[in-house]
Chain A
Amino acid sequence: MELVCPAGTLPALKAAVDNGADAVYIGFRDGTNARNFPGLNFDEAEARQGIEYAHRAGRKVFLAINTYPSPAQWDKWCAAVDQAAGVGVDALILADPGLMHYCTQKHPRQRLHLSVQGSATNAEAIAFYARQFGVRRVVLPRVLSLAQVRAIIKRVNVEIEVFGFGSLCVMAEGRCTLSSYVTGESPNMSGVCSPAKAVRWEETPTGRQSRLNGVLVDSYGPGEAAGYPTLCKGRFAVQQNTNAAHDAELPHKPYYALEEPASLNVLDILPQLMEAGVVAIKVEGRQRSPAYVAQVTRALRAALDACARDPQNYKPRGDWLAALDKVAEGVTHTLGAYHRPWQ
């Protein structure tokens, strides 16, 4: 299995390559990709430098243009596709069907991957992108169980890449507009979720509160660790159930109604993913530091190598898990949707 690592900067790209990534994925410094954060990402010259660095080490570079351009943005997004093809990326990661069509017309030899934002969660949807645009690899949304991943791989003839580590989207990627509902900006349109400019921290007599465009996402007691107020990771309260027996099942105070702040970590099921025929494991986090990229890449490289050497006796080592937990969101990890009870 290929290890695909994130890079938001040239130093992060180098850290990924130096620590054993088989491929690094990057984005341009604008809204064309789903990690459109201030101070992050690559201009054309940096992309060229990064590709040269990776290619010299025998590694690949993928470039994500995985937001959905509006008509007003269309020309700029097409120009980004041209630019990516021009600098010689090994694959373009796209989500928008219109843009994929453009790419197949203009750059028929360009290798295409379907972004997780493309939201292909079943064999028929994957077949559509393969047939229509010649997509060679699909990144699966983080909504599938291991059994479902296995079933999909049996039915499709494109490569399947899955998320292995990083922040966890609890919603099907590409089909979540929670962020635009609250802030006007979403991953699909603007390449951001719960954008930092909409965040407000407030110290109150009862503790610290985090708000997103005025909406109270969470509040923390004294000494309680506070997390970034991503909308789906806030604590909220549910209404009562009119049926008393069922009402007794409900939490009667605010709780993580959608998802706890936790990182996805598939170290426990690497042999099963390999056996299922997964081609690549992806690490989330182009917004994270070069140190994060180095640490995660190193741990996953070691785990993947151990798994490839002897899948029968593979066991995640304590130091890998510790290294990953140290940089994990919420300092805890989960198998997410791969593990059916999580669902």
Chain B
Amino acid sequence: MKLSLGPILYFWPRDTVLDFYRRVADAPVDIVYLGEAVCSKRRALRPEDWIQIAEELEAAGKEAVLSTMTLIEAESELGVMRRISENARFTVEANDMGAINMLAGRARFVAGPNINTYNAGTLAMLAAAGARRWVLPVELDRNTLRALQAARPAGLETEVFAFGRLPLAFSARCFTARAHNLPKDECGFRCGDYADGMLLSSQEDKPFLVLNGIQTQSAETYNLVAELPEMKDLAVDVARISPQSSGTFEIINTFHAVIDGTLEPAAAPARLAPHIPYGACNGHWYGQAGMNWIREVGAEAVFSAMGGLKRG
């Protein structure tokens, strides 16, 4: 199984981004998704900068992919998407049907996690349009994945969002600007103050969501490290890690060690714990509320079944 690094979803300073990808070049990830996927106003890096990062990562042996934005409304945003889609060199991750319209029949692409791929009919349509990889929508469970894998068109790779705060929703409204009582058009880039988004808690102080501009994320970290063996059985080709302001490289190393067989999956959660500030979740994988944490590691299930037999 390959390991990928999703696009940076937060608004980090230019130098932080450049430093980050210099380290990524030496990290054990196979695929790196690049570009601004959340808000078109964030322009700390120009398209040329992203292309240059892509070239450097490619020289370091990585597959570089350019991600498009998810919510495309303005003509100017379509223009940026067109420039990305028409780049002749790097694969594009389409996060909107508009991008797929530009890419279909012209270039092989990745159907990102925000393309609603819920069944084999859609999978076949995407493959016919030129998808070479698709990413499972985050709310889908392993049984759906199993059925989709069984019906997967030849040559289509499957990727699963395996670690990070879940991207849950997109809006016209900028919630970070709203929190700061600023109009969206004069937001002052307050999202830059929050390297991992802005924590939103319930009235009893329980971390609930994270506001990241127009995007709403889970406060809990989706963590499928213990499910990597199951993903392998399901012939998943790529596991995705979503970047965060600290610990990303430790997370990559831990996932890599599990995939490599040098670290027991059961031992991995303890290593990841320091990088999970508000608790972990994995409910979606098991077909439950996404915020739930299910302890259903294969070995433990077998162990308890044996215990039951002994008692019987």
Residues of A within 8 A of B (CB): 68-74, 95-99, 101-102, 118-125, 127-129, 131-132, 142-145, 148, 151, 170-172, 174-178, 180-184, 186, 188-189, 213, 215-219, 232, 234-239, 241-243, 246, 249-251, 254, 257-259, 337, 340-343
The number of chain B residues with a CB under 8 A from chain A is: 79
Give me 14 other A-B pairs in contact (C-beta within 8 A), A124-B97, A144-B73, A188-B139 excluded.
Answer: A74-B121, A101-B122, A120-B98, A122-B78, A125-B97, A175-B114, A182-B289, A182-B291, A188-B118, A234-B202, A249-B179, A249-B190, A337-B172, A337-B173
Inter-subunit contact B179/A122 (CB<8 Å) = no
9 nearest CB pairs, A to B:
A98-B121, A124-B98, A71-B147, A143-B172, A128-B101, A68-B118, A98-B122, A181-B290, A125-B98
- Which residues of chain A come closer than 8 Å to B304, judged between CB atoms? none
Q: List 15 A-B contacts (CB under 8 A).
A: A70-B118, A74-B119, A96-B121, A97-B116, A98-B118, A148-B73, A151-B75, A171-B169, A176-B169, A236-B201, A237-B203, A238-B198, A238-B199, A250-B179, A340-B184
**Min CB gap A80→B, angstroms:** 14
**Min CB gap A97→B, angstroms:** 5
Inter-subunit contact B179/A74 (CB<8 Å) = no
Checking B73, B116, B166, B204 against A216 with a beta-carbon cut-off of 8 angstroms, the contacting residue is: B204
**Min CB gap B207→A, angstroms:** 9
**Min CB gap B245→A, angstroms:** 13
Inter-subunit contact A98/B203 (CB<8 Å) = no
CA distance A178 to B151 in the complex (A): 28
Taking each of A125, A184, A232, which has the highest tally of chain B beta carbons within 10 Å of its own beta carbon?
A: A184
A-B CB pair tally, cutoff 8 Å = 240
**Min CB gap B190→A, angstroms:** 6
Inter-subunit contact B96/A122 (CB<8 Å) = yes
**Min CB gap B270→A, angstroms:** 25
Checking B116, B148, B173, B211 against A238 with a beta-carbon cut-off of 8 angstroms, the contacting residue is: B211
Known contacts: A122-B98, A183-B289. The answer to whether A249 contacts B168 by CB under 8 A is no
**Min CB gap B216→A, angstroms:** 7
Inter-subunit contact B71/A172 (CB<8 Å) = yes
**Min CB gap B12→A, angstroms:** 15
Known contacts: A96-B116, A215-B208, A257-B211. The answer to whether A177 contacts B290 by CB under 8 A is yes
- Which residues of chain B come closer than 8 Å to A72, judged between CB atoms? 143-144, 147
- Which residues of chain B come closer than 8 Å to A174, judged between CB atoms? 116
- Residue on B nearest A74 in the bound complex, by CB: B119
| CB of B14 closer than 8 Å to a CB of A | no
- Which residues of chain A come closer than 8 Å to B185, judged between CB atoms? 340
B201-228 at interface with A (beta carbon < 8 Å): 201-206, 208-209, 211, 216, 218
- Which residues of chain A come closer than 8 Å to B203, judged between CB atoms? 216, 218-219, 235-237, 254
- Which residues of chain A come closer than 8 Å to B199, judged between CB atoms? 238-239
